[in-house]
Amino acid sequence: MCYDEQIRWRHLQYETPSFYCRDGSLLVRSSAAFAQSDWIYVSQEGHQYRASLNADGTVMDSLYPVARFTGTGAMTQVITGTETLYLGRNCDAYSKVLGSGTWAWANGGFVVQFEDREIRFPRQEIDANNGSNCRDR
């Protein structure tokens, strides 16, 4: 069971409608639009993503540029830009920079796993239009 509460986010400098769930997890919604498909998630690294549902799952677009290292050794590069994560209904994931991977949820949040990187979203729940499949076992 989740409930509404207005809380003030100091770093955002405006009030954001938020939802707390019975387990204490926090889900934040965008203040601009209050549509169901306009949820804001915060990764463990502090990056914010706007999530929207489609027929194939969930699309998560970063609100601000994200820097990611790619390559190894002397071929290492830093790629900076807004990031899009695709979370599929069949537990698959994709990112242009990080490639293909998987995603799963558990009581402690959800995680997107790529070959050499994980993006964690602690204490948050997500719907990928798949009836709560993709449970991390």
Read off the DSSP letter of residue 63.
S
Residue type, 36: Q
> Where are the strands (E) in 10-116, listed by range?
14-21, 26-29, 39-42, 48-54, 57-62, 66-70, 77-81, 84-88, 92-95, 99-106, 109-114
Q: What is the pLDDT of residue 65?
A: 97
CA–CA gap between residue 14 and residue 108 (Å, rounded): 28
Q: Mapping DSSP to helix (H, G, I), strand (E, B) and coil, where does residue 74 land?
A: helix
Q: What is the pLDDT of residue 137?
A: 54
Q: What is the pLDDT of residue 71?
A: 85
Report the largest interatomic distance among the alpha carbons of the chain, rounded to a whole angstrom.
Answer: 51
CA 49 to chain centre: 5
Dihedral of alpha carbons 34, 23, 94, 44, sign: positive
Q: What is the mean pLDDT of each run of 10 residues along the chain (137 residues)?
A: 35 40 47 57 97 94 94 91 96 95 92 94 89 75
pLDDT digits 0-9 by tens, 48-80: 999 999 999 999 999 999 999 888 899 999 999
Q: What is the pLDDT of residue 72?
A: 87
| Model confidence pTM above 0.85 | no
Sorted by sequence, the CB contacts under 8 Å of residue 92 that are 6+ apart come out as 100, 101, 102, 103
Per-domain residue ranges of the chain:
2-122
